[in-house]
């Protein structure tokens, strides 16, 4: 016996945001994956995967982020029925804007809906983080937390898990530039240092604190000044050709700040929607890459509300 199809949109997210490595995340309005599912008697079946990069997505439910998260949500909800899943990727894997996180969050949220919404939002995040851990080689929830909860999220602690979400300022515009390069989170985490200096710790605490205040107070200038990273982006710059040049282009075309999105290669630029147009920032980065023989997709978007039923 099969149930009715339920469709969920799971949006892109940007993680780290300067000083908040594995801590800060922001839900974006688009792009997004569409995850569909229906109840079946038993077993998890992925019957369809389409969209950019779908060739690289495993159909084996034990290896796929959507199904791993969905199974965890079933387990935590105390249910043992099966689910048939269809995945339409809008966010290609290896992008740095939470492709696996959107799959994981979408899978967890879908199963949560099919189970009759027995879990708390935090438990849905944990189901998705479990899938991230299996597929990306590290327990980090800074993409799945905003993807489930929406807004600007801060993970205070992983053990015990505590996360808060706040609504970012309305005027905060976001440009995503995604050069035609693939960087997996796994490889991008392997280039990171294992220790940080006290000097960099102080620098990160100051910037992270002021970014949070800027998000709460709606102070776009402070947000722009506080997205700073002395440790993680410098270690990853070599993985993304023309990263620094792209950030400079964005800044000279009106961005408040421009930085590496998560583990890369996406380049995220914040701008003030009330005074600037995202198009000029997006065009400047796309032209830089195309002039160097690398294609580049761009999205002009804004902060979003996380997974939703559509
Ligand atoms: N915080 C993670 C990292 C996010 O930077 O590795 C991955 O998108």
Question: Based on C-alpha coordinates, what's the Rg of the chain?
Answer: 19
What gap in Å lies between CA 128 and CA 241, rounded to an integer? Answer: 31
| 279 in active site | no
Give 196 Cα–ligand 1 centroid separation in angstroms.
Answer: 17
Rounded to whole angstroms, the Cα distance separating 306 from 292 reads 35
pLDDT at 186: 85
Token pair 């109840």 is found at 39
Exposed (0-12), middle (13-18) or buried (19+): which is 277, by Cβ within 10 Å? middle
Pull the structure tokens for residue 79. Answer: 């249910």
Contact 254, 280 (CB under 8 A): yes
| Helices 99-114 and 65-77: angle between axes, nearest 10 degrees | 30
Count of C-beta atoms within a 10 Å radius of residue 5: 11
User: Is-contact 102 126, C-beta < 8 A?
Assistant: no
pLDDT for the residue numbered 140: 82
Q: Whole-model pTM?
A: 0.94
Residue 197: C-alpha distances to residues 8, 16, 44, 156 (Å): 43, 18, 46, 21
Centre of ligand 1 from the C-alpha of residue 262, in Å: 5
Residue nearest to atom 3 of ligand 1 (CA): 263
Counting atoms of ligand 1 from 1, which one is nearest the CA of 232? 5
Which residues lie closer than 8 Å to 259 by C-beta, 6 or more apart? 17, 18, 227, 229, 233, 247, 267, 268, 269
What pLDDT, on a 0 to 100 scale, did the predictor assign at position 1?
66
HSE, CB side, 13 Å, CA atoms: give it for residue 303.
22
If you measure from the C-alpha of residue 30 to the centroid of ligand 1, how many angstroms do you get, rounded to a whole number? 19
Ligand 1 binding site (Cβ under 6 Å of any ligand atom)? 15-16, 21-22, 96, 140, 142-143, 185, 188-189, 262-263
Pocket test for ligand 1, best of 15, 128, 143, 204 (most atoms within 8 A of CB): 15
Minimum CA distance residue for ligand 1 atom 6: 263
Burial class (CB in 10 A: 0-12, 13-18, 19+), 190: exposed
**Ligand 1 atom, smallest distance to 101 CA:** 8
Please identify, by atom number, the ligand 1 atom nearest to the C-alpha of residue 261. 8
Q: pLDDT tens string for the chain (310 positions)?
A: 688 999 999 999 999 999 999 999 999 999 999 999 999 999 999 999 999 999 999 999 999 999 999 999 999 999 999 999 999 999 999 899 999 999 999 999 999 999 999 999 999 999 999 999 888 767 789 999 999 999 999 999 999 999 999 999 999 999 999 999 999 888 999 999 999 999 999 999 999 999 999 999 999 999 999 999 999 999 999 999 999 999 999 999 999 999 999 999 999 999 999 999 999 999 999 999 999 999 999 999 999 999 999 9
What is the DSSP track for the chain? -----EEEEEEEEEEETTTEEEEEEEEEEEEEEEEEEEEESSSEEEEEEESTTGGGS---TTT-HHHHHHHHHHHHHT---EEEEEEE-SS-TTSSS-HHHHHHHHHHHHHHHHTTS-S-HHHHHHHHHHHHHHHHSS---TTHHHHHH-SEEEEEETTTTEEEEEPPPTTEEEEEEEES----HHHHHHTS-S---HHHHHHHHHHHHHHHHHHHHT-HHHHHHH---SSHHHHHGGGSTTHHHHHHHHHHTT-SEEEE-TTSS-EEEEEETTT--HHHHHHHHHHHHHHTT--EEEEEEEB----EE-
Q: What are the two backbone dihedrals, phi and then psi, of residue 210, each rounded to the nearest 5 degrees? A: -75, -30
Does the active-site annotation cover 132? yes
> Of the listed 36, 72, 132, 247, which one is catalytic?
132
Kindly report the protein residue whose alpha carbon is nearest to atom 8 of ligand 1.
262
Please give the number of the atom of ligand 1 that sits closest to the Cα of 96: 8
| Contact present, 302 and 29 (Cβ < 8 Å) | yes
| Helices 121-136 and 99-114, axial angle in degrees (round to 10) | 140
Q: What digits encode the pLDDT tens for the residues 132-161? A: 988 876 778 999 999 999 999 999 999 999
Number of neighbouring beta carbons within 10 Å of residue 139: 15
């Amino acid at each position: 016996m099969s149930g009715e199809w339920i469709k969920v949109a799971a949006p892109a997210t940007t993680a780290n945001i300067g000083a908040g490595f594995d801590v800060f995340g922001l839900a974006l309005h688009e792009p997004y994956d569409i995850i569909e599912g229906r109840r079946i008697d038993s077993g998890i079946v992925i019957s369809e995967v389409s969209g950019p990069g779908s060739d690289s997505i495993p159909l084996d439910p034990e290896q796929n982020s959507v199904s791993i998260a969905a199974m965890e949500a079933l387990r935590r909800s105390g249910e043992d029925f099966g689910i048939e899943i269809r995945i339409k990727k809008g966010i290609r894997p290896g992008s740095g804007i939470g492709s696996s996180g959107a799959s994981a969050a979408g899978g967890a949220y879908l199963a949560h809906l099919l189970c009759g919404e027995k879990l708390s939002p935090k438990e849905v995040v944990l189901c998705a983080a479990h899938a991230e851990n299996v597929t990306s080689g590290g327990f980090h929830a800074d993409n799945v937390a905003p993807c489930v909860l929406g807004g600007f999220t801060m993970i205070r602690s992983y053990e015990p898990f505590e996360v808060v979400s706040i609504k970012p300022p309305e005027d905060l515009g976001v440009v995503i530039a995604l050069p035609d390069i693939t960087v997996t989170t796994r490889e991008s985490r392997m280039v990171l240092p294992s220790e940080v200096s006290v000097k960099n710790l102080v620098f990160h605490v100051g910037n992270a604190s002021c970014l949070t205040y800027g998000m709460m107070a709606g102070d776009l200038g402070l947000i722009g000044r506080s997205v700073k990273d002395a440790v993680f982006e410098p270690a990853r710059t070599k993985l993304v050709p023309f990263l620094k040049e792209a950030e400079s282009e964005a800044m000279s075309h009106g961005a408040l700040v421009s930085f590496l999105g998560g583990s890369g290669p996406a380049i995220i630029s914040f701008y003030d929607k009330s005074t600037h147009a995202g198009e000029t920032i997006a065009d400047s980065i796309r032209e830089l890459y195309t002039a160097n023989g690398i294609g580049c997709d761009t999205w002009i978007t804004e902060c979003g509300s996380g997974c939703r039923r559509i």
